[in-house]
């Protein structure tokens, strides 16, 4: 049974760009979400993340957590995006909305077919993700995608366990905390 789980987990993470997936420590699958700790090539803890594969039809997404907040990445195999572009985007979760730019910086997206957005702790993206039922992503050209958030609460709980397990390897430990209006949402405090 354990081998079946590991095989299923490996298949769920197979879409992640190679540069992003050098070392992943699985924390399981919760509904459509895969949860993992990300390590550098040297085996140092970098972040914890949840992933959802779009199956080639919809964009795949990953959401990782760091000292400054959340990093949302979205990619699709048939996208070809110039490095350094920025696209206006609105992200909504059950009525709460964030406007910003989706960036194609390959040093962040690790792929020629992805965009990323950052959400600081003060934006309350994490609690909305945890308790929301549906995320809507609308680009300035009118293209939009919907992401069901079923299982996101359990996935976020599992990501919290990933953070707790790796705090001894946390590169952010001892750094001054980033000011936040909602300190309870920051596991690094």
Query: Could you read off the pLDDT tens digit of each residue along the chain, which spans 189 residues?
Result: 443 333 334 434 443 443 345 688 999 999 999 999 988 888 888 889 999 998 878 888 999 987 778 999 998 888 888 888 889 999 999 999 999 888 887 777 777 788 999 999 899 999 999 999 999 999 999 999 999 999 999 999 999 899 888 876 544 444 444 444 444 443 333
| pLDDT for residue 19 | 38
| pLDDT for residue 151 | 93
| pLDDT for residue 175 | 46
Q: Tokens 């020629």 — which residue?
A: 112
Separation of alpha carbons 25 and 65, rounded Å: 15
Angle at 85 between CA 54 and CA 180, to 5 degrees: 75
Residues paired with residue 33 on neighbouring β-strands, in sequence order = 30
Retrieve residue 32's tokens.
Answer: 């459509």
Residue pair 48/37 in contact by the 8 Å Cβ criterion = yes
Separation of alpha carbons 110 and 137, rounded Å: 21
Separation of alpha carbons 127 and 163, rounded Å: 16
Q: Please state, in angstroms and as integers, the Cα–Cα distance from residue 138 to each residue in 97, 102, 153, 158, 163, following that order.
A: 11, 11, 23, 28, 30
Q: Is the pTM of this model over 0.85?
A: no
Query: Could you tell me which of 112, 159, 152 has the C-alpha nearest to residue 130?
Result: 152
| pLDDT for residue 169 | 52
Separation of alpha carbons 45 and 169, rounded Å: 6
Query: Could you tell me which of 159, 169, 149, 151 has the C-alpha nearest to residue 26?
Result: 159
List the CATH code of the domain at 2-181: 2.60.40.1880
Q: What contacts 53, CB < 8 A, 6 or more positions away?
A: 12, 14, 15, 32, 34, 60
| pLDDT for residue 105 | 79
């Amino acid at each position: 049974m354990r081998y079946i789980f590991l095989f299923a987990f490996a298949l769920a993470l197979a879409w992640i760009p190679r540069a992003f997936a050098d070392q992943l420590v699985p924390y399981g699958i919760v509904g459509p979400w895969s949860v993992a700790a990300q390590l550098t090539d040297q085996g140092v803890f970098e972040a914890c993340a949840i992933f959802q594969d779009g199956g080639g039809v919809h964009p795949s997404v990953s959401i990782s957590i760091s000292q400054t907040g959340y990093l949302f990445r979205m990619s699709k195999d048939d996208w070809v995006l110039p490095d350094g572009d920025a696209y206006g985007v609105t992200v909504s979760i059950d009525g709460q909305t964030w406007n910003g730019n989706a960036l194609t910086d390959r040093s962040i997206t690790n792929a020629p077919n992805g965009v990323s957005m950052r959400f600081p702790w003060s934006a309350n993206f994490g609690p909305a993700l945890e308790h929301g039922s549906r995320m809507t992503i609308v680009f300035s050209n009118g293209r939009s995608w919907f992401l069901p958030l079923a299982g996101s609460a359990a996935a976020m709980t599992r990501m919290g366990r990933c953070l707790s397990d790796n705090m001894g390897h946390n590169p952010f430990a001892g750094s001054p905390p980033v000011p936040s209006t909602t300190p309870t949402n920051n596991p690094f405090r």
